[in-house]
Chain A
Amino acid sequence: MIEIWYAILTFMLIMFVVLEGFDFGAGMLQYLVGKTEAERRLVIAAIGPLWTWHEVWLVGFGGTLMVSFPNVMASAFAGFYLAFFLLLWALVLRGVALEVSGQIAEPLWRTGWHVVFVAANFLLAILIGTALGNIVRGVPLDANGKFALDFFTNFSPSGNVGILDWYTVSVAVFVIVIFAAHGATVLVLKTTGPVHDRSVRIASLLWKTILVLLAGITLESWHVRPELFSGMIHQPFGWLGLVAVAGGVPVIFTSLKNGRELSAVIGSGAFIAGLMTAGAAGVFPIMLHSTLAPENSLSAYQNAAAGNGLVIALVWWPLSLIFAVGYFTFIYRHYTGKVKPTEDMQTPY
């Protein structure tokens, strides 16, 4: 039961990162791929009318974490207090910018909101990357299972750590590049013309960079959290993740080269999902690792909710997933294929 809920949470987080990851990435690249106002609107149109559906995976993740591991939620959310609010504010600004930039066809209005949009997307990528880095590295949990993180202490990833150190910063950089590459890959699929051609070039360049960064991050992670890799190879899901990563890379490169745009996006999604699956399998069952003393770590086995609440939730959760995919399919049928600029680009989608 506990393993199932851990898997469900990982799945929801992966859905959020893969789906919103391309929204964030495309948003970061808005000014790089879009040189004119119309081209920048095309980027927004490519993100499409379903970005709130993507974001709901994060909301669903929060509620599901509360049901299944309330202690972990209580400890982590309070411990990352300020970082969480930065994330929330960035989400607010980005959502507003996305929705209102198209409301008025006035260059100043558009430019102002586009700048907010690009900046908020970068901030979100940094925050999500830092958060993932913190989960892998661990947090200074005390014997009561509590912690309160400063933004930075001495930039060292051991002992009394802060949110930012050389390891979490490098994970943040890695995630920025991954989101940008993923976003560019989706823009290749969804756009035509100059935006498409620029996205192809940017995607190829970024994916090559990622291969270099991946080697670096692997070595760093080995140093910071050695048991990550031993955990990974002892779990079937760890192998599944590694296979997805290893399989995703050649698919991305050959597909981008041969213009098989959809399979490039699938490869890109598989790469991200694979990394996260392997990581989640590697740290299991530790949900929050303590950098102060290993015995303070919060394990899934000791912190799952008591009673039959988890069994009950396992009845309605799959049902709600089927519905959610159903609504998505009902609408997405009408929005497949490439977006194309028309004479008036006022409305966003």
Chain B
Amino acid sequence: MEDTLFWSRLQFAFTITYHYLFPQLTMGLAWIIVYFKWRYLRTGDETFGNAARFWARIFGINFAIGVVTGIPMEFQFGTNWAGFTKFSGNLIGQTLAMEGMFAFFLESALIGAMVWGEKRLGPRNHFLTTVGVALGSWASGYFILVTNAFMQHPVGYSVADDGSLRLQSLAAYLLNPWALIMFLHNQCAAVVTGSFVVAAVGALYALRGKHSGQASLFLKTGTLVGLCACFLVATPTGDQQAKMVAKHQPVTLAAMEGRFHGGSNAELNVIGQPDEDQQRIDNPLYLPDALSILAFGHANSSVQGLDDFPKNEWPTNIELLYYAFHIMAGLGTLFILLMIIANIQRWRGRLEKSRGLLWALMLAFPFPYIATTAGWMTAELGRQPWLVFRLFRTSQGVSDVVGGGNVLFTLMGFTGLYFVLGVLYLFLIGREIAHGPQTISSTIKLEVSHD
């Protein structure tokens, strides 16, 4: 049982982390492509048309890997987490089914035509298709975040005679305040990923002196959207998210901050290593009173520490949780600085000549992926030891008929398969970027006609 639990957790963590590398770019790019399409429709300027086509091809490859790595997620609820499915399937199944029925049917119907069907559909319908895919990808994100928000902050349920949960109010479940804030926070982070990737490709072309029109457009769009998104991730969405954790999951906040002892005038640790044995932070660099102010608005507000809670309610991996949170917050701060500098240089008309800054923009694109992954690790490690916060422990949720060896086998299978997918993805995306934005004539020639 212990083995099954450990390997099942690792398998879910691995497959969801890997999967989410793809949808975050899909969701981030979707509206940027809609913007390019819209400008193209309005102005007829081929720079926008080619930009839209180029990013749609990248989007298509990204989407395909996102789809195939997404299908195993839903099914793992049944295969590995049968106890959880029995306990709360009637609730979380609602949003998982809605995601399929409302979002996936929309995206899957339109994606092929969005990537390959510009000529066949005509400008207006092709624009609508692009908007439809963007809406579908964001709707899909919302349904999944409602599911996760229920696990973080359960609302809208009642308990049936057999101990399982039943849906009490669909509206309360779907409009969980946790879901609304997490959705905004998460979607802004996805736009950060998308805008950093667009800016990085622009910086690459500018540094190589190729596709100069596209380079300027990508740099302008990437840095402007990036600046707005970076601010919105931090405040109000990130700030509100943290306040919600402080209010509903105080033990999680204590662990995120490595706060072993409670009290007023809580400091905010910027750097330092949590030391569980000594119950302190080693080598701390901190801002006095800042945690009290951020969490509750006053310097002398009291913030609970881990020692205010029974030990069996502490998150199970405090060190990793602490680092995940600090990596996310630290990178988020650096992103804001980078984008402020890039935009100042752009307004002065110097961005494309500042080679150092272009190098930084080009090499910065992996870091939003790291930050979003760290953010999700904060949310999910912070929820432990609960599967549904304060209702259902993770250890109760695992499938008891599946042996640990079987789970290790499938985990190794996923590792191998996903390694191959990763190599394939990098190869194909690298090829598209090396090829660059095409002209319209060569795109159309590639179509297979249906008559």
B89 contacts A67, CB within 8 Å? yes
- Whether, in the assembled complex, A258 has its beta carbon less than 8 Å from a beta carbon of chain B, the answer is no
Which residues of chain B are within 8 angstroms of A160 by Cβ–Cβ distance? none
**Residue of B61, B105, B168, B410 with most chain A CB atoms under a 10 A cut-off:** B105
Chain B window 258-290, contacts with chain A (Cβ cutoff 8 Å), 1 for yes, 0 for no: 000000000000000000000000000000000
Picked from A104, A305, A336, the residue with its CB within 8 Å of the CB of B89 is A305
For chain B residues 379-437, which have a beta carbon within 8 Å of chain A?
399-403, 406, 409-410, 413, 417, 421, 424, 428, 431
- In the bound assembly, the distance between CA atoms of A335 and B451 in angstroms comes to 8
Chain B residues with CB below 8 A from A328, complex form: 105, 109
A70-B164, A340-B450 given; A60·B78 CB < 8 A: no
Q: Verify A349–B448 contact, CB threshold 8 A.
A: yes
Shortest distance from the beta carbon of B12 to any chain A beta carbon, whole Å: 13
* Distance between Cα atoms of A309 and B98 in the complex (Å): 13
Contact call A82/B410, Cβ cutoff below 8 A? yes
How many A residues, CB 8 Å from partner? 81
Q: Do A50 and B98 form a contact, CB below 8 Å, given A70-B86, A146-B401, A307-B90?
A: no
Pick the contact of B105 from A78, A104, A312, A323 — CB < 8 Å?
A: A323
Query: Which residue in chain A gives the minimum CB-CB distance to B65?
Result: A96
Q: How many A-B residue pairs have CB under 8 A?
A: 265
Known: A52-B111, A339-B448. A85 touches B94 (CB 8 A): no
Is the pair B104, A45 in contact by a Cβ cutoff of 8 Å?
no
Q: Which residues of B contact A317 (CB under 8 A)?
A: 97, 101
- Chain B contact patch, size range: 35 or more
- Name the residue on B nearest A104 (C-beta): B431
Which of A100, A307, A316, A328 has the most C-beta atoms of chain B within 10 angstroms of its own C-beta? A307
Check B68–A92 contact: CB distance below 8 A: yes
Tell me if A66 and B399 are in contact (CB < 8 A): no
Complex Cα spacing A101 to B130, Å:
24
Q: For B92, what are the chain A residues with a Cβ–Cβ distance below 8 Å? A: 66
Bits for A291-323, please: 1 = Cβ < 8 Å to B, else 0.
000000000000001111110110011001101
Q: Is A154 an interface residue (CB 8 A)?
A: no
* CB–CB B410/A347 < 8 A: no
Q: A323-B105, A349-B117 are in contact. Are A70 and B85 (CB under 8 A)?
A: yes
Does A253 belong to the interface (CB within 8 Å)?
A: no
A143 in contact (CB, < 8 A): no
A32 in contact (CB, < 8 A): no
Interface membership of B363, Cβ < 8 A: no
B110-169 CB contacts (< 8 Å) to partner A:
110-113, 116-117, 120-121, 125, 129, 132, 158, 160-162, 164, 166-168
Rounded to whole angstroms, the CA-CA distance of A276 and B90 in the bound complex is 26
Complex Cα gap A68–B168 (Å): 15
Q: Which chain A residues lie closer than 8 Å to B110 at the CB level?
A: 327, 330-331
Instruction: Write the nearest CB–CB distance from B69 to chain A, whole angstroms.
Output: 7
**A residues near B125, Cβ cutoff 8 Å:** 330, 334
Q: Can you name the residue of chain B whose Cβ is closest to the Cβ of A42?
A: B448
Q: Given A312-B167, A339-B450, are A88 and B86 neighbors across the interface (CB < 8 Å)?
A: no
Is A306's CB under 8 angstroms from B166's CB? yes
Q: How far is the CA of A65 from the CA of B93 in the complex (A)?
A: 8
Task: Give the residue among B65, B94, B117 with the most A Cβ atoms within 10 A.
Answer: B94
Contact of B112 among A63, A96, A349 (CB under 8 A): A349
B86 and A74: CB pair below 8 A?
yes
**Which chain A residues border B307 with CB–CB below 8 Å?**
none
Does A53 count as interface, using CB distance less than 8 angstroms?
Answer: yes
Per the bound structure, the CA–CA distance linking A99 and B67 in Å amounts to 11
Task: Say yes or no: B402 contacts A312, CB within 8 Å.
Answer: no
C-alpha gap A71/B75 in the complex (Å): 14
Asked if A81 contacts B448 (CB within 8 A), the reply is no
Nearest CB on A from B1, distance (A): 13
Closest chain A residue, CB of each to CB of B102 = A320
Q: CA separation between A146 and B400, bound complex, in Å?
A: 9
Asked, given contacts A306-B161, A339-B448, whether A95 binds B64 with beta carbons under 8 Å apart, the answer is: yes
Task: Verify if A236 is at the interface (C-beta below 8 Å from B).
Answer: no
Q: Are A334 and B113 in contact, with the CB atoms below 8 A?
A: yes
Is A73 part of the contact surface with B, judged by Cβ < 8 Å?
yes
- The 0/1 profile, CB within 8 Å of B marked 1, for residues 16-45 of chain A is 000000000000000000000000010001
- Given A331-B113, A339-B448, verify A66-B93 contact (CB < 8 Å): yes
When chains A and B are docked, how far (Å) is the Cα of A305 from the Cα of B167?
Answer: 10
Contact of B399 among A78, A306, A324 (CB under 8 A): A78
Q: What are the residues of chain A within 8 A of B86 when measuring CB–CB?
A: 70-71, 74
Residue from A58, A93, A321, A331 whose CB has the most chain B CB atoms within 10 Å: A331
A231 on interface, CB distance cutoff 8 Å: no
Q: Determine the distance from Cα of A327 to Cα of B447 in the docked complex, in whole angstroms.
A: 22
| C-alpha spacing A60/B130, complex, angstroms | 23
- Does B177 have its Cβ within 8 Å of any Cβ on chain A? no
Residue of B71, B75, B102 touching A77 (CB-CB under 8 A): B75
| Bound CA–CA A19/B109 (angstroms) | 13
Q: Is the CB of B78 within 8 A of A66?
A: yes
Interface string of A164-204 (1 = CB under 8 A from B): 00000000000000000000000000000000000000000
**Docked CA distance A174–B347 (Å):** 68
A147 touches B166 (CB 8 A): no
Residue on B nearest A329 in the bound complex, by CB? B109
Is residue B178 contacting chain A, with contact meaning CB distance below 8 A?
Answer: no
Closest A residue to B132 by CB, please name it. A327
Q: Are A50 and B166 in contact (CB under 8 A)?
A: no
B96 touches A62 (CB 8 A): yes
Bound-state CA distance A327–B71 (Å) is 21
Cβ of B83 < 8 Å from any Cβ of A? yes
Partner of B85 from A56, A74, A81 at Cβ < 8 Å: A74
> Which residue of chain B has the shortest Cβ distance to A308 in the bound complex?
B167
CB-defined contacts of B168 to chain A, threshold 8 Å: 307
Which B residues are CB-close (under 8 A) to A60? 97, 100-101, 104-105
The distance in angstroms between the C-alpha atoms of A309 and B95, with both chains bound, is: 12
A41 to B448, CA, bound (A): 10
Q: B446 contacts A346, CB within 8 Å?
A: yes
Q: Which residue of chain A lies nearest to B449 when distances are taken between CB atoms in the complex? A: A342
Query: A45-B448, A85-B413 known; A306 and B78 CB under 8 Å?
Result: no
> CB within 8 Å of A: which residues of B?
60-61, 64-65, 67-69, 71-72, 74-75, 77-80, 82-83, 85-86, 88-94, 96-102, 104-113, 116-117, 120-121, 125, 129, 132, 158, 160-162, 164, 166-168, 170, 399-403, 406, 409-410, 413, 417, 421, 424, 428, 431, 445-451
Beyond A74-B83, A91-B68, A330-B109, 13 extra complex contacts between A and B, CB < 8 Å: A49-B117, A52-B67, A66-B85, A70-B89, A81-B402, A84-B75, A99-B64, A103-B431, A305-B93, A320-B105, A331-B117, A349-B116, A349-B448
8 chain-A/chain-B pairs, Cβ below 8 angstroms: A50-B112, A58-B71, A70-B164, A74-B83, A74-B86, A77-B77, A309-B166, A331-B110
Q: Which 7 A-B pairs have the closest CB atoms?
A: A49-B112, A70-B89, A77-B78, A307-B166, A63-B97, A66-B93, A320-B101
